Amino acid sequence: MPTEQSIQRSQNTHPNRINIDPEKIENGLAKLVLTLVELIKKLLEKQAIRRIEGGSLSDEEVERIGEALMKLEDKIQELKEIFQLKDEDLSLNLGPLRDLI
């Protein structure tokens, strides 16, 4: 049977109302999306490096990949400035496994 203290603790952790702040939602969504984009960019960079080192890309393809990754990085930086996010904000904490980014 729950004690009075556990009931109070439960009520404190689950408020009766949801406080939704549109700015926080927008910022949270931007943080999530940019984190995922950053993760995908890092995966693409690793794959590009493997392919370059493996010699499976032409010079033209290497140049195009480099330009695309630079443009993507520029856009990420631009969006981080708009939403006032820092690099450390774009990290997925996986608990005991470590941070993903």
Find residue 9's DSSP bridge partners.
none
Kindly provide the b/e burial profile for residues 75-92, where b requires at least 16 CB atoms within 10 angstroms of the residue's own CB. ebeeebeebebeeeebbe
pLDDT tens digits, one per residue of 37-96: 999 999 999 999 999 999 999 999 999 999 999 999 999 999 999 999 998 888 766 666
pTM: 0.67
